[in-house]
Amino acid sequence: MNQLDALKQFTTVVADTGDFRQMASFKPQDATTNPSLILKAVQKSEYAPLLKDTVNAYRGRAPDEVMDRLLVRFGCEILSLIPGRVSTEVDARLSFDASATVARAERLIELYQAQGVHTDRVLIKVAATWEGIQAAQQLERKGIHTNLTLLFSFVQAVACGQAKVQLISPFVGRIYDWYKKTAGAAWVEADRAGVNDPGVQSVTQIFNYYKKFGIATEVMGASFRSVGQITALAGCDLLTISPDLLAQLAASEAPLVRALDPSRAQGMDIDAVNFDEAGFRLALNDDAMATEKLAEGIRAFCQDAVKLDQLLLAA
């Protein structure tokens, strides 16, 4: 059995790509997209007609509507290839506007429904800012399920659990990147691998906390830099993995054992915590890595949203 098949025994494997033709060969359960992945996909020749068809069909409409229709078009193509759910992201430029995030999410769901897609097959991705988490809480109450992304800290995860969001996506690789860059020449890769990887440690802490206190929010590790990070989180609810790393897992027959276990977490000595808005903002501010990576991630997604706007206008 290869490592990919072994991983699927205790973790739901999710394809992290907008290239739906590439993902089909790995047979993932779910798939995730974001503006950066869609931007990358539409610049490939095989997807250019999809962009042009969408623009031609809705020429003259507001740019944000055309973008949403393109995202839903990709999402529908992906859903034709997978049995589970697709995550579609609200424009990152709304990351600090809860009411606008709710409105945009509702429109995305309406567009999916118009294509015959049931609400349960879509997760609306929202940045895990305070405003994003409050928007997600409102959406969940309306029966619209959410995926809180750009999550780098325990405080963000706790607040998401309090809001009863469907799923969170803690970013393993970007946490690792920050600690490695900060350490500079003092970084020793062998000493910070596997369970000692700071990104792996972050997701493990969140997973154990959720399972200890019966928090139903799903944990989906994301943003991986290596197969080692993935195997160190085997047993996590879900892992969203790029095609390159999926291929490496499929090509390896090295042993793979479960690393995270809900029953083991339930016996751990962990204190329950709770955050209001002021406490959330203070705790996030105290975490330099999370503060920097959240801001950086929102900036990058906003920049790619602008580029996608420009491509749509030029098509």
Q: What are phi and psi of 230, to 5 degrees?
A: -70, -50
Rg of the Cα atoms in the chain: 19
Cα-to-chain-centroid distance, residue 301? 13
Distance CA 77, CA 298 (A): 26
> Are 168 and 217 a contacting pair, CB within 8 Å?
yes
| Contact indicator for 153, 196 with CB cutoff of 8 Å | no
Pair type for strands 86-89 and 167-170: unpaired
Active-site residues, by number, are 125
